[in-house]
Amino acid sequence: MERTFEEALENRRSYYRLTDKSPVSDEVIKDVIRKAILHVPSAFNSRSTRIVLLLGEHHRKLWELTLGQLRKVTPAEFFPRTEKKVATSFASAYGTVLFFEDMEVVEKMQNDFPTYAAAFPSYSDQTSAMHQIAIWTRLEDLGFGASLQHYNPLIDKDVAETWDLSPKWRLVSQIPFGIPEDVPGTKETGPTENRFLVFE
C-alpha cells in the first residue's frame, strides 16, 4: 500500500512470527534497496553503507548459523525458548537484509578529513541507521512485517566467511522480513516533552 511518509513512519512496527511469503516480486524488494543506497544521505557523501540481501536458502543459512552461535552462549535450560524465537520470528521469514559499514571507507575519510577523524565512526553509524529506517519502512509499506535485530558481533565471522565478504565490512544489524502472522500490540511512544525542545 502507498502511504505518505508520515503515515509510513507512524505505522512502522516490529513484527515477530513471520512467514516465508511475499506480496511482491524479488525485483521490487531489490529496487527498494537500490533506491535507498542511491538516495539515503551520508556524512561527507562517504557512501559507506553496504547491504546484503539474503533470500531462499541463503536466508535460512543465516539463521542456522545464528542458532549455532547462540547454542554456544545460551544456558541449556533457556535454549529451547531461544530456538523457538529464531525459528518462528526470523528463520521462518521470507528474507533478511544485512547492513554493514565499510570501514575502509571510514578510515579513508578519517585520513582525508583529520579534523573530524574521531567523529567518523559515529557518522558511519548514523548513515547506517538512515538506511535501516528507510528500508524497514518501505518493506512494511509493501505489505511485509519486519524487525531490527542485532546478532552481531556473535555472527560476524560466520557471515563474512559464508558469503565471502570483505573483512573491512562491519556488520551493524539484520532485518528479517516476511508476511506477519499476528498484529503487534499498542506502540508505546511516551511523551515528547523531555525529548523535544523548541526555542522561538
Would 51 be classed as within a structural domain? Answer: yes
Would 161 be classed as within a structural domain? Answer: yes
- At 3-19, the pLDDT tens digits run 888 888 888 899 999 99
Would 194 be classed as within a structural domain? Answer: no
pLDDT-derived band at 164 (thresholds 50, 70, 90) equals very high
- Give me the mean pLDDT over the 136-155 stretch: 96
Work out the mean pLDDT of the chain and round it to a whole number: 95
**What pLDDT was estimated at residue 189?**
85
Would 195 be classed as within a structural domain? Answer: no
- At 174-185, the pLDDT tens digits run 999 999 998 887
pLDDT-derived band at 1 (thresholds 50, 70, 90) equals low
Would 173 be classed as within a structural domain? Answer: no
Would 34 be classed as within a structural domain? Answer: yes
Would 174 be classed as within a structural domain? Answer: no
- At 19-36, the pLDDT tens digits run 999 999 999 999 999 999
**CATH, residue 159:** 3.40.109.10
**What are the C-alpha distances in Å from 186 to residues 11, 31, 133?**
11, 31, 20
pLDDT higher than threshold 80 for residue 137: yes
Q: Do the Cβ atoms of 106 and 124 come closer than 8 Å?
A: yes
The domain total for the chain is 1
* Extended beta strands in 4-85, E state: 18-19, 49-55
pLDDT-derived band at 193 (thresholds 50, 70, 90) equals confident
**What pLDDT was estimated at residue 11?**
85
Residue 131: which domain range? 5-167
Give phi and psi for 21, each to the nearest 5: -110, 155
Which is more confidently placed, 75 or 185? 75
- Beta carbons within 8 Å of 107's beta carbon, 6+ residues apart: none
Would 11 be classed as within a structural domain? Answer: yes
Q: Measure the CA–CA gap between 63 and 172, rounded to whole angstroms.
A: 16
- At 79-120, the pLDDT tens digits run 999 999 999 999 999 999 999 999 999 999 999 999 999 999
- Give me the mean pLDDT over the 40-49 stretch: 96
